[in-house]
Amino acid sequence: MKKMLVVLLAALMLVLSVTAYADDEPIHLTLWTFQELHLSLYREMLDKWNADPANPKLDIDMQVMDYEDMHNKLTIALQTGEGAPDITEIEISMYANYLKGDIQLAALNEYVEPIEDHLVMSRLNNYARDGKYYGIDHHIGATVMFYNTEILEEAGINYKDIKTWDDFHEAGKTVLEKTGKPMTTWESSDCWSIYPIVSQHGGDWLTWDNEVVMDSDVVIDTLAFMKSMLEDGTAIPAPGGFHHAEEYWGWMNAGGCATVSMPFWYLNRFTDYMPDLAGKMKVVPLPTWADGKGHKSSQMGGTGVSVVATSPNADVAKAFIAFATLTFDGNVNTWKLLGFDPILMDVYGAPEMMEPNKFFDYYGDEIFDEMATVLDDIPDTAITDMYPTATDIVKSQMAYDLCYSDKSAEEIAKECADQLRSMID
């Protein structure tokens, strides 16, 4: 009797499992992110993926966690080999932590290499080790300048006349004199003021061999320039310490300051948190350096989308993220839904990109007119395993000293560089 029951049960399970894997049952994947915004892109691209009968049906459980939480959970999941998702997003300053030891992320070369010439490769290099690409970014994060035209007009300045950083400083003096408002703000507790401008000027914190170049002449020159603006009041430390502080948003929204330089992804911070400036803000590439050094822009921040190598569905997960982030369609949607500057160069100038959206409403139609001209001149940044330590020093030491200490640019750079050197084995 018991034997019969066991056989029956086994038969039942067999039937059930066969039906479970029959054609219509979708493959279940888990995706972790700390940025809820990105989900709209995945949802849109998942619908498109499933609409194509050639693709295996997917069902993705998208989980949004707090930034620290998600990275901690991921570290622990990968270290213990238990509970990791299939697809995960990893923030750029944390990425190097996951490229230590046995890399537990899947290489995406089969999707990246065929279209190398069409991608802004400096972005992909951030997430690469030994020629293998482990992550794909949603955006370039080209640093741009946001101008409040209302304040500039009050001071009689046309933002289009500002070509170099010296022009920018001179214009700042006029703005301060005519309106009493500062030209710009520097962050005192984050890296988005110093790092983009240093990188654009041709500097960096480390080389790919972990050699510290934080106190190079370029870094010192850049810091000296930023300090000179603080000294004459054309720049002030950002209220709240950084450009994502509630205090800063309220103050900027009320017309506290004429400009801010931030990476392109800051577009949606204006539309979401500073609605009163709609129609007044213009977004253009950064001023350039009069000494002829450096580049037109710099690529900053970002999130690498990666596949966990041990996932049983790694192959289909790779195919899906390539579909969502490397295709023409995916990149157009990256702009339309997320407001990012896509990494696929083909989309710039395409009519699909010009369809009206909230960003064109806010900044006007000419967003991409000049943007396209900087794509070919964006420097690499060295994202080594010491990168998290380097950015931490920039955030907590360099930015603070720049804004609040009496130290000279050279002293600041030297102290920070020595600190970083002492942390490298």
Partner 1 sequence: MKLSSSAKKQESVFGHKAVPYLFIAPFIIFFIIVYLYPFFQTILMSFQRIDGPNHITWIGTSNYTKLFKDRNFSQSLMTTFRYAIWDVIILTTVPLIVACILNSGYVKFSAFFKSVFFIPALTSTIVAGIVFRLAFGTLDTSIANRVLALFGKPPRDWLMHADSANFVLILLTLWRWMGVNIVYYISGLQAIPPELYEAAQIDGANALQKFFYVSLPGVKPVLIYVITITVLGGFAMFTESVALFTQKYAGGIGRTIVGYMYQVGFYKSNLGMASAVGIVLLIIVLTVNLIQLIAMGFFRKEN
List the x/- string, 229-268, binding to partner 1 by CB under 8 A: --------x-xxxx---xx--xx-----------------
- Nearest distance, CB of residue 424 and partner 1, angstroms: 10
Q: At what angle do helices 217-231 and 165-179 cross, to 10 degrees?
A: 10
What is the per-residue DSSP string for 186-203?
Answer: E-SSSSTTHHHHHHHTT-
Burial class (CB in 10 A: 0-12, 13-18, 19+), 404: exposed
- Nearest distance, CB of residue 241 and partner 1, angstroms: 6
Piece of the chain touching partner 1 by CB under 8 A; list 8-16, 72-80, 259-267, 332-340: 72-80
Residue 304 in contact with partner 1, rule: CB under 8 A: no
Phi and psi angles of residue 343, each rounded to the nearest 5 degrees, phi first? -85, -10
Q: Which of 314, 303, 302, 298 shows the shortest CA–CA distance to 111? A: 314
Piece of the chain touching partner 1 by CB under 8 A; list 66-74, 124-132, 291-299, 328-336: 66-74
Q: From CA 37, how far away is CA 358, in angstroms rounded?
A: 15
The amino acid at 376: D
Out of 100, 180, 209, 351, which residue is the one contacting partner 1 (CB under 8 A)? Answer: 100
Residue 399 in contact with partner 1, rule: CB under 8 A: yes
Q: From CA 253, how far away is CA 192, in angstroms rounded?
A: 19
Out of 23, 47, 52, 102, which residue is the one contacting partner 1 (CB under 8 A)? Answer: 102
Residue 89 in contact with partner 1, rule: CB under 8 A: no
Q: Which DSSP state fits 337?
A: I
What are the respective helix, strand and coil percentages of the chain, to the nearest 5? 50, 15, 35
Cα dihedral angle (49, 51, 56, 58), rounded to 10 degrees? 60
Residue 208 in contact with partner 1, rule: CB under 8 A: no
Piece of the chain touching partner 1 by CB under 8 A; list 43-51, 65-73, 154-162, 327-335: 65-73
Q: Which of 252, 287, 230, 232 shows the shortest CA–CA distance to 148? A: 252
- Nearest distance, CB of residue 415 and partner 1, angstroms: 9
Based on CB atoms, which residue is closest to partner 1, 133 or 242?
Answer: 242
Q: From CA 298, how far away is CA 288, in angstroms rounded?
A: 11
Out of 49, 58, 71, 182, which residue is the one contacting partner 1 (CB under 8 A)? Answer: 71
Based on CB atoms, which residue is closest to partner 1, 257 or 344?
Answer: 257
Out of 257, 401, 409, 417, which residue is the one contacting partner 1 (CB under 8 A)? Answer: 401
CA distances in angstroms from 191 to 164, 188, 309, listed in the order given: 22, 8, 32
Residue 72 in contact with partner 1, rule: CB under 8 A: yes
Based on CB atoms, which residue is closest to partner 1, 3 or 100?
Answer: 100
- Nearest distance, CB of residue 416 and partner 1, angstroms: 10
Q: From CA 85, how far away is CA 306, in angstroms rounded?
A: 10
Piece of the chain touching partner 1 by CB under 8 A; list 17-25, 93-101, 122-130, 308-316: 93-101
Residue 107: half-sphere exposure toward Cβ, Cα within 13 Å: 11
- Nearest distance, CB of residue 318 and partner 1, angstroms: 22
Q: From CA 246, how far away is CA 403, in angstroms rounded?
A: 19
Q: From CA 325, how far away is CA 332, in angstroms rounded?
A: 10
List the x/- string, 354-393, binding to partner 1 by CB under 8 A: ----------------------------------xx--x-
Based on CB atoms, which residue is closest to partner 1, 364 or 388?
Answer: 388
Based on CB atoms, which residue is closest to partner 1, 238 or 371?
Answer: 238
Phi and psi angles of residue 173, each rounded to the nearest 5 degrees, phi first? -65, -40
The footprint of partner 1 (CB under 8 A) covers 68, 71-72, 75, 78-81, 94, 97, 100-102, 104, 188-190, 237, 239-242, 246-247, 250-251, 388-389, 392, 395-397, 399-401, 403-405, 419, 422-423, 425
